[in-house]
Chain A
Amino acid sequence: MGAEYIPVLLLGALAFAFAVFSVTLATLTGPKRYNRAKRDAYECGIDPTPQPMGGGHFSIKYYLTAMLFIIFDIEIVFLYPWAVSFGLMGVFALVEVILFIVTVFCVYLFVWRRGGLEWD
């Protein structure tokens, strides 16, 4: 009991060591030409923490869109394995997947009718 977990521990130690190693190595050997873009947390896209008070809130629309994306993303995640092994599972899986798609479609209808897809 316990011996079979040693590979997991080793993997964890390896991951930790790699993280420390690569960050240290980059600091030691990399070129150091700092400019404004270089000091940003992300080099492209919107600033994650905008500066002025009152002017820096994210619109909730971003989150709505992100959540919608996740819903349909998850749908695809389930559809791929089903499509690959469709021949094996036959009618049962077909019915289940149709039920699943119909349910997600109901969500889509709700979002569409209640204005979730309109930006303004």
Chain B
Amino acid sequence: MNELIASVFETPVINYRQLSPILIILGAAVISVLVEAFVPRANRRVVQLVLVFLALITAIIWAVTGAGQQAITGEGAIAVDGPGTFLQITILIVSVFVAMLMAENRLDPAGDAFTARANSLPGSEDEREYTNRGWTTTELWPLFLFSVGGMLLFVVANDLLILFVALEVMSLPLYLMAAIARRRRLLSQEAAMKYFLLGAFGSAFFLYGSAMAYGFAGSIRLGDIANAISALPGPNGLIIAAVALLSVGMFFKIAAVPFHMWAPDVYVGAPSPVTAFMASCVKIAGVGVLLRVMYVAFSGLAWDWRPLFWIVSIVTMLVATILALTQTDIKRMLAYSSISHAGFLLIAVIALNPQGIASTLIYLVVYATATVGAFGIVTLVRGPSGEATHLSQWAGLGKRSPLVAGGFAILLLSFAGIPLTAGFIGKFTVFGAGIAGGATPVVIVGAVASMIAAFFYVRVIVLMFFTDPAEDGPTVVTPSPFTGIAISVSVILTVIFGIFPQPLIELAEKASIFIR
């Protein structure tokens, strides 16, 4: 009847068992949209919370019980392998704790961290009225689930098109989530706008790179691109351009210097629980994908992209560390710290060996654990107009609430990579992989950068414990069990991973082989 349609249609094989965590989360997201539509406003929060935690925990159970069964499915578009499953489970577990921070509603007298009505003019009568009615933005929860679903797909995507779709499913909800802070509305809206524009800019790079890679290899599958590269007789401009553009797109997402400009402003403006989500889960997903694309598709071109990655890694570590030294705002300082961690993670990408994969997995786990706790503690320290984020306001915190300040000190030491905290294990394994992969100069710069970084982390600790609190300083508000549990688990895990790292290391090493 029509020559354009193939006469035989082969039903694609889809391993639903391997995809179940993604399907559970995205299915729950759709149900969550229906909850927004049909459940009365007064009950929405409770129903959404039950749905979100149920979905996350079910997905974790399915992902954990299904771990170890590797599969390339969806006609080669998705590769559920060791690193993919490991990252999925990490993202899901971290998301549980991020969701706990988001669910917190006892810190602010007006309710949770999210605005009553996002479309009201900031500071208007209208906004006050809805705040008094006790409204909050429950649309956060479907957005959150969609974003988590996108991340789960992102880390197992095995072709450039699925990668791009997953990237957008992950990012688009985040732009909105950044815009709905209850306090400092204008700053929050500005953050969302910047994040959207820069995020779209980064996505465009990624898409352009995908087009180039397709033009070169005639396929968007990562494995096919690798085969086309290994069959290459000599240098080829098209594939070099593709690698460069794809890398830039992913550098934007993980906020590596010089593509980090958006991160401090967005991290400061977004509601702190959302910042915790961006700094932990987005970083996990972004670095996971960078690792997969570079290892699976472009390892044959290592001589071409490694110098670029060397430079980006060194510049990221140094610039972020030096800028962090000059910050006076705690959220901004944590933002620069998060940027510098992207630099350390790049060392493992450069390494291009199985240790590189395992050490990235370890580093991401310990980094995300500490990040969630750190931003959780930022939400606790409050003045009359919301979170007190200026460093001077944190002076003497250790004398007023030693427990919170002590927990924060442990997390900061972990960021700095001091022994007996989880951060040390992360840095140690990444540096080891880097040296094994022949990137010793980068590792040396990394060691120097972490020594400089230790200075500004320790400065905050000194400020908290060895200075006198200001008279009208902020108070540490007692949170509900949600935030309490999230922060405690984060601090305890940071110590446990630091003292008994062996199970984590073994698990990561077992998971460190990509399939294609």
Contact = CB atoms under 8 A, between A and B. Distances in A.
Given A88-B5, A89-B9, A92-B11, A103 B37 contact: no
A105 to B, nearest CB: 10
B36 interface: yes
Contacts of B34: 106, 109-110
A107 interface: yes
B37 A114 contact: yes
A93 B402 CA distance: 61
A103 B37 CA distance: 14
If over half of B's interface residues share one DSSP class (helix, strand or loop), that class is named, otherwise mixed; here it is loop
A112 B34 CA distance: 11
Interface of A: 1, 84-85, 88-90, 92-93, 103, 106-107, 109-110, 112-114
Contacts of B38: 109, 113
B5 A109 contact: no
Interface string B216-248: 000000000000000000001000000000000
Contacts, number: 34
20 contacts: A1-B236, A84-B5, A88-B5, A88-B6, A88-B7, A88-B8, A92-B11, A92-B12, A93-B9, A106-B33, A106-B34, A106-B37, A107-B33, A109-B37, A110-B33, A110-B34, A110-B36, A113-B37, A113-B38, A114-B37
Contacts of A84: 5
B313 to A, nearest CB: 33
B30 interface: yes
Given A85-B9, A92-B11, A113-B38, 9 more contacts: A1-B236, A88-B7, A88-B9, A89-B9, A90-B9, A92-B12, A106-B30, A107-B33, A110-B33
Contacts of B11: 89-90, 92
A114 B36 contact: yes
A85 B11 CA distance: 14
Contacts of A113: 37-38
**Size class of the B contact interface (CB-based, 8 Å):** 10 to 19
Nearest to A92: B11
Instruction: Summarize A's interface: helix, strand, loop or mixed.
Output: helix
B288 to A, nearest CB: 26
A88 to B, nearest CB: 5
Contacts of A92: 11-12
Interface in B126-175: none
A107 B29 CA distance: 11
B5 A85 contact: yes
Contacts of B33: 106-107, 110
A5 B34 CA distance: 49
Interface string B1-43: 0000111110110000000000000000010011011100000
B231 to A, nearest CB: 14
B64 to A, nearest CB: 26
Contacts of A107: 33
A45 B54 CA distance: 51
Contacts of B30: 103, 106
B33 to A, nearest CB: 5
Contacts of A106: 30, 33-34, 37
A102 B37 CA distance: 15
Nearest to A112: B37
Nearest to B38: A113
B16 to A, nearest CB: 12
A112 B38 CA distance: 10
Contacts of A89: 9, 11
User: Which 3 pairs across A and B sit closest by C-beta, in order of nearness?
Assistant: A113-B37, A110-B37, A92-B11
A107 B12 CA distance: 27
Contacts of A112: 37
A109 B38 CA distance: 9
Contacts of B8: 88
A106 B37 CA distance: 9
A112 B36 CA distance: 11
Nearest to B238: A1
